[in-house]
Amino acid sequence: MQLSIIIPLLNEAESIPELQEWIERVMVTTSISFEVIYIDDGSTDSSWSILSSLSRKRNNLTAIKFLSNYGKSQALHAGFKRAEGDVVITMDADLQDSPEEIPELYHMIVDGNYDLVSGWKKKRYDNVISKNLPSKLFNWAARRTSGVQLNDFNCGLKAYRSAVVKNIDVHGEMHRYIPVLAANAGYTNITQKVVQHQARKYGETKFGYDRFIKGFLDLVTIAFISRFGKRPMHFFGTLGFVMFIFGFVVAAYIGVSKLYKMAADLPYVLVTTNPWFYIALTAMILGSLFFIAGFIGELIVRTGLQQERYKIAEETTKI
């Protein structure tokens, strides 16, 4: 199998038949063997009955139905696990992603030797205030934080080498950051392609304003994991050490200052009446807790490394 097309969806009954027909119309002009995998993420309309009917008529169409709405990341994870193609392409089911882009994306992976090609909807047909401007801010922050230079992280139209999707773990709301996850896993040959964006033809968007809040929170998570995921002691240990030393030095100064005044028969006050004593005490306690958190994190990471220390990219066999 040369190509797997993965399409997560939620309540897109009107779009599915037209999308499937469009994909087949494009692919019949190529010599690429392909499969289409639809993941119904808990639809409450007739999406599943339509998918079931389509899958009975086509050998290269697979439909997976979730028991409830688990989210796009889980849908993609299920699709990645099921995909058999050498190249994997993901796209949305709302007809805003054009199947006409599929052949070129496929050849960019195969002929261009890229690990991942991300679509860039340079010209959008969304509301400028509610989507375009927040999206530009979101993508700018993602570029600055992750170091991956893409203009449209949230574009659903992407192409991957099969090894990429088999070696990354997409969960939570991390589907926006698959290029970052891929880069962290060692697949750094990433590029982008300007793709056609079309206005939504049926229904309404399934994403609200909360997606930007969730997106930025996930971005913080990704940024931390990218820098300190394998060595949490570098972050927590350093922060804990600095706080503990600060608190210790302040506490020592307060104690020595009191002893000096007592020895010199100078007026002094109780240590506990000095607000800096409590600041120092709090800093040492927090520093110790951060250091312990880093130590526990190291134990967890090392336990995980015992199960899977590395991923093999290529191997030669002697005969």
Query: Is residue 313 in a domain?
Result: no
| Domain of 261, in residue numbers | 232-307
Does residue 315 fall inside a structural domain? no
What sections of the chain are H helices per DSSP?
Answer: 16-27, 47-57, 72-82, 102-110, 133-146, 162-166, 178-184, 210-228, 232-263, 275-307
Q: In the structure, what pLDDT confidence band is assigned to residue 319 with cuts at 50, 70 and 90?
A: very low
Q: Is 185 part of a structural domain of the chain?
A: yes
Whether residue 246 sits in one domain with residue 196: no
Could you tell me if residue 318 is inside a domain?
no
Q: How far apart are the C-alpha atoms of 137 and 133, rounded to whole Å?
A: 6
Strands 116-120 and 158-161 come out as: antiparallel
Cβ contacts of 43 within 8 Å, gap of 6 or more: 9, 10, 11, 12, 13
Span 111-119, mean pLDDT? 94
Q: Which of 76-80, 182-186, 221-225 has the lowest mean pLDDT?
A: 221-225
Domain assignment present for 130: yes
pLDDT on residue 203? 66
* Least confident segment among 19-33, 34-48, 97-111, 171-185: 171-185
From the list 248, 256, 239, the residue with the least C-alpha distance to 295 is 239
Integer Cα distance of 84 and 174 in angstroms = 22
Q: What angle do CA 239, 242, 245 make, to 5 degrees?
A: 145
Q: Are residues 33 and 175 in the same domain?
A: yes
Closest CA to 116 of 190, 186, 6: 190
* Pair of tokens at residue 27: 């692919």
- Answer yes or no: is 300 within a domain: yes
Provide the number of structural domains found in the chain: 2
For 247, phi then psi, to 5°, come to -65, -40
Any domain includes 90: yes
State the pLDDT confidence band at 175, using cuts at 50, 70 and 90: confident
* Predicted confidence (pLDDT) at residue 310 exceeds the cutoff of 60: no
Do 237 and 224 fall into the same domain?
Answer: no
Mutual angle of helices 232-263 and 275-307, in 10-degree steps: 160
pLDDT of residue 34: 96
pLDDT bin (cut points 50, 70, 90) of residue 303 is: low
Residues 184 and 265 in one domain: no
Q: What is the rounded distance in angstroms from the CA atom of residue 44 to the CA atom of residue 269?
A: 71
250 lies in the same domain as 190: no
For residue 317, name the pLDDT band (cuts at 50, 70, 90).
very low
pLDDT of residue 131: 61
pLDDT in tens, 123-165: 766 555 556 677 777 788 778 877 888 988 888 999 999 999 9
Number of C-beta neighbours around residue 220 at 10 A: 11
104 or 174: whose pLDDT is higher? Answer: 104
What is the per-residue pLDDT for 126?
59
190-218 per-position pLDDT tens digit: 999 999 887 777 766 655 556 667 667 77
- Give the tokens for residue 128: 């400028």
Mean pLDDT, all residues of the chain: 84
Which of 228, 245, 274 lies at the terminal end of a domain, its last residue? Answer: 228
- pLDDT for residue 87: 97
In a domain, 319, yes or no: no
Are residues 100 and 180 both part of a single domain? yes
Indicate the pTM of the whole model: 0.74
Q: Are residues 199 and 249 in the same domain?
A: no
Select from 200, 179, 197, 198 the least CA-distant residue to 189. Answer: 179
Please tell me whether residues 298 and 237 are part of one structural domain. yes
Query: Do 205 and 270 reside in the same domain of the chain?
Result: no
pLDDT digits 0-9 by tens, 224-278: 766 666 678 888 888 999 999 999 999 999 999 988 888 888 888 888 888 999 9
AA letter at 59: N
pLDDT reported for residue 244: 95
The contacts of residue 16 (CB under 8 Å, 6+ apart) are: 9, 38, 47, 50, 51, 54, 93
